[in-house]
Amino acid sequence: PKAEAKKAPAPSPDPVKKSAPEKTYASGTPSIAAAKIMAENGISANQLSGTGKDERITKQDVVAAMAGGFSTNEAQGWGGTRDQHRERMRMLRRKIAERLVAVKNETAMLTTFNEVDMKPIMDMRTKYKKAFSEHHEVNLGFMSFFTKAVTEALNLFPAVNAQIDGDELIFHDYADIGIAVSSPKGLMVPVVRNAEQMSLAEIEREIKRVAIKARDGKITPDEMTGGTFTITNGGVFGSMLSTPIINPPQAAILGMHNIVQRPVAINGEVVIRPIMYVALSYDHRIIDGKESVGFLVKVKEMLENPERMIFGAKDPAEVLLGL
């Protein structure tokens, strides 16, 4: 009889592939005992792979790694190279460095802080920004509100708008506001002349004009000198709080920061509001603590009550849109 053809063995079912463990908050995090050993031996978490629950790094992982060599994970560091290179400081950077050191050595600089509830300004900006942009052909930003509030506060606290000249103080009856802007060559501070006489739209146009010139490298020295007060906004880079350095020979500088939703108490209730921390660095040789705090409080009050403080009895639409 013919031999029966051997049947090909049925293919075995594919083994079930195990999915990679899901990452959790514990992944790569050392236990208390492991962290202690790591700190004592200068070991970082990215040099180890955890075998504990949810890939937590255990004491045994650290001991085993020290005994048998490290098992690095994907979060490897710089790569171990010890190369270095030198670059010649640009003239602008050298000048900035010299001025910053001079401020520290030649002024009695202090900083006072406060916080601003930005909801009133944000609500007003949301309400009018489209019509403002269409009417004036420029965007309505926060800087114009701050500039306007600063010019009003400078009128009430003239020492903040002064400077030292030998044995005399020079008080300026105008507000030439320096606006710090970032450029490819570094930080530049073009000046908005007679900002106290400008509308919000005029301030926005002038800020846009000088910022574009600074960005394109076309700003002139005359456009960056002679300011009486400076505003800088570290918030555009994510800064929550800083101590800005005075721009000599000015007596003070205002630092804006990022806006963060924070719990605050209003009328006995906890609510979430958009808060910005503000900082005023000032030369204590010219400005007393009472004046510096009073100035910053006035700026805060005006920004939190824009209709009453900035626009007076006028309708905001009349001031913002010229209606």
**Could you read off the pLDDT of 110-147 as tens digits, one per residue?**
999 999 999 999 999 999 889 999 999 999 999 999 99
The pLDDT-based confidence of 10 (bands split at 50, 70, 90) is low
Within 10 A of 161 (CB to CB), how many other CB atoms are there? 28
Q: What mean pLDDT is predicted for residues 83-90?
A: 87
221 inside domain:
yes
Same domain, 257 and 191: yes
Neighbour-count burial of 299, counting CB atoms closer than 10 A to its CB (0-12 exposed, 13-18 middle, 19+ buried):
buried
Residues 300 and 180 reside in one and the same domain: yes
Same domain, 195 and 226: yes
Paired strand residues for 230: 178, 253
Both tokens of 135, joined, read 């009417």
Q: Which residues contact 314 (CB under 8 A, 6 or more apart)?
A: none
Specify whether 164 is located in the same domain as 245.
yes
Comparing 187 with 10, the larger pLDDT belongs to 187
What is the structure's pLDDT at 301? Answer: 95
Q: Which domain holds residue 301?
A: 108-321
Identify whether residues 43 and 129 lie together within a single domain: no
Share of the chain above pLDDT 90, in %: 55
Residues 146, 78, single domain; the answer is: no
- 96 in a domain, yes or no? no
**For the domain that residue 74 is a member of, what is the CATH number?**
4.10.320.10
Give residue 72's pLDDT: 46
- The yes-or-no verdict on residue 75 having pLDDT over 50 is no
One of 135, 172, 173, 284 is an active-site residue; which one? Answer: 284
User: Tokens 């560091």 — which residue?
Assistant: 77
- Model pLDDT for residues 249-260, shown as the tens digit of each residue: 999 999 999 999
Q: Is 315 within the bounds of a domain? A: yes
Task: Answer yes or no: do 79 and 142 share one domain.
Answer: no
Residue 74 — very low, low, confident or very high, per pLDDT cuts 50/70/90? Answer: very low
Could you give the CA distance from residue 212 to residue 214 in angstroms, rounded to a whole number?
A: 5
Active-site residue among 14, 83, 136, 288?
A: 288
Per-residue pLDDT reduced to its tens digit, 13-63: 555 444 555 566 567 788 888 888 888 887 888 788 888 887 888 988 888
Q: Is the pLDDT of residue 316 over 60?
A: yes
206: domain CATH number is: 3.30.559.10
On whether residue 97 sits in a domain, the answer given is no
169 belongs to a structural domain: yes
Query: Do 146 and 245 belong to one domain?
Result: yes
92: confidence class by pLDDT, cuts 50, 70, 90: confident
> Do 184 and 269 reside in the same domain of the chain?
yes
State the burial class of residue 274 (Cβ atoms within 10 Å of its Cβ: 0-12, 13-18, 19+): middle
Q: Hey, how many other C-beta atoms are within 10 angstroms of the C-beta on 190?
A: 24
How high does pLDDT run on average in the chain? 86
Q: Measured between alpha carbons, how far is residue 82 from residues 76, 78, 85, 88 in Å?
A: 16, 10, 10, 20
Confirm if 231 and 244 have CB atoms less than 8 A apart.
no
Are 63 and 196 part of one and the same domain? Answer: no
- CB under 8 Å to 216, separation ≥6 — which residues? none
**Distance separating alpha carbons of residues 118 and 57, to the nearest angstrom:** 43
Residue 288 appears among annotated catalytic residues: yes
9 lies in a domain?
no
Assess whether 139 and 266 both reside in one domain.
yes
107 neighbors 285 (Cβ within 8 angstroms)? yes
The reply to whether 91 falls in a domain is no
Same domain, 113 and 80: no
As for how many domains the chain has, the answer is 2
In a domain, 292, yes or no: yes
Choose from 72-86, 157-171, 200-214, 301-315 the range with maximum mean pLDDT: 157-171
